[in-house]
Amino acid sequence: MIFLIKNFFNISIIYLIFFNITFASEQNAWLPSWNYRTPILVSNIGIELVNHQLSIDIDLKQRIEQNKIKDNCGDIRFTDSDGTTLLNYWIENFTDPIKTPVKIWIKIPSIPNGNQTIYFYHGNITAISESSITNTFDFYENFDGNEIDSSKWTSTGDSVINFNNGVFESSGQRLLTTKTYQSNSNMIIELYANIESQWECDVEIGWINSEKSWRWTSWTSGGYKSSNGSSDYLGKWANSGWNIYSIVREGTKAHLFINDNEYPASPQQMDIIAGNYFLRIMLDNTSRSANNMQSIDWIRIRKYTSSEPTLILQSEESNTSYIAEREALIDIYNSTNGDDWSINTNWLGEIGSECTWFGVICDESKHVESLHLFSNNLNGSIPSSLINLTYLKSLLLHNNNITGSIPNELLKITTLESITFNNNKLDNTIISLVNQIIQDELSKWDVNNDNVIGIEEAIYALQISSGLLTKKR
């Protein structure tokens, strides 16, 4: 620890420097740089789930109007129970978040039986969206290209295929089998499709084993078949037009849902054997009628359990550290006539922009680490609220017109390493402040032979005498 007092005979030139001082502070785990979070209670009455996807509808209107979240929702994040481990998520229906609640899918690594808490974060102006359906769902295909993705699919058949604005169209017979995706878990296959069902025109959806055999016992052709031919006792299940079709694997049963409504003859019994299963889709239009084109917009797969956990939003919380830092900066702006500063670029900007304000330097976690406003025409006093800059290391305010005294509260900023106030109009209380700093810090440490001379000389040099520092010897 070193104290340096430059120019003992001019009280307006004082530098206080503290080195190698570490203070422990106890804080709740909080995602760095985010101002707000809302706990989400996860209640699971079933078995423990692993890497399970759950959805929640969140009304963002008030948060956006209060500038607590970006208009494009790019600062949305979710963390695990520890408050800092990021979770994968995907915003499904981002159209107008002010008018419509936003549906968000979250992939949670572990959901034990009982209750746990995860966190919904927002309020970081510099954050960029990390919404990703690919990282959140077990499998996803949106046919965004001009050919079948050979890394995802094994494709066979003689159909004529087209890609029309992200929609896969097939006329003829085409088999699509996932190349790498396989699973032995309960799951939901969802596809948004326009399926035509008539003679020689149908779709089959289901699972096959490594020998490429269908895993069904209800008929030899396999799958949930959409045709209304005589061999299909389920009848015609495909509705005309675009619908969301869901095939749910639940143990040895497979359910069929159309737009969330279960088909009357569902479920079917599956012939389950050990091992993983691949997804297989057969698109059949052997009549090759242009009016009976089989079309799929997207396919996605996620995990399933019969007793899905519930997600309930709790009360919003504020990161008092970030909010208090912002308020402290606003206080020094107002108390020193910030409108007339030589440079005040970006000051008083929206929440989360503080690190872009002139003279404000932040650490990697976006806490204020340095405040450098020297030679900037500050006129007024220093507010005591600067104590809320709890991560501050450097405060440089020399060459201004600051009046009054330096608040003793500055002593409580344990991270502070350097202060400059020279060439201001401060009163003599600066001397007692320096003396108090030295005495307070000295009382916290065992003085050794390496620094005893520097500390003793610093204390010895301090004396209030008509506003001047003079040597006592």
Report the C-alpha gap between 203 and 365 in whole angstroms. 53
pLDDT for 20: 32
Backbone angles phi, psi at 386, to 5 degrees: -60, -15
Reduce the DSSP state of residue 41 to 3 states and report it: strand
What residue ranges define each of the domains in the chain, with the CATH number in brackets? Answer: 15-26+319-469 (3.80.10.10), 36-136 (2.60.40), 140-303 (2.60.120.560)
Tell me the C-alpha distance between 407 and 399, whole Å: 18
Question: Residue 176 and residue 234: Cα distance in Å, rounded?
Answer: 23
- CA dist., res. 225 & res. 232, Å (int): 7
Please give the backbone phi and psi of residue 327, each rounded to the nearest 5 degrees, phi first: -65, -35
Tokens 């997804």 appear where? Answer: 279
- Phi, psi (5° rounding) for residue 127? -75, 145
What is the C-alpha to C-alpha distance for residues 197 and 183, in angstroms, rounded to an integer? Answer: 29
Taking alpha carbons only, the member of 336, 385, 393 closest to residue 360 is 393
- pLDDT at residue 271, as a whole number: 64
Q: What is the pLDDT of residue 426?
A: 82
Q: What DSSP state is assigned to residue 134?
A: H
Q: What is the pLDDT along the chain (473 residues), one digit of tens a residue?
A: 333 333 333 333 334 433 332 232 334 588 888 989 999 999 999 999 999 999 999 999 999 888 889 989 999 999 999 999 999 999 998 777 777 889 999 999 999 999 999 999 999 888 999 999 999 999 999 998 889 999 999 998 888 889 988 899 888 888 888 999 988 888 999 999 887 766 666 777 777 776 665 544 333 333 454 443 333 333 345 566 888 988 888 887 888 888 999 887 778 776 666 678 888 888 877 655 555 678 899 999 999 999 999 999 999 988 878 888 999 999 999 999 999 999 999 999 887 789 999 999 998 878 899 999 999 999 999 998 998 898 999 999 999 999 988 887 777 788 888 888 888 888 755 555 555 555 555 444 443 333 333 444 444 444 333 233 333 33
Say what the pLDDT of residue 222 is.
36
pLDDT of residue 24: 28
Picking from 258, 250, 204, 206, the residue whose alpha carbon sits closest to that of residue 231 is 204
Distance CA 109, CA 427 (A): 59
Q: pLDDT at position 23, please? A: 30
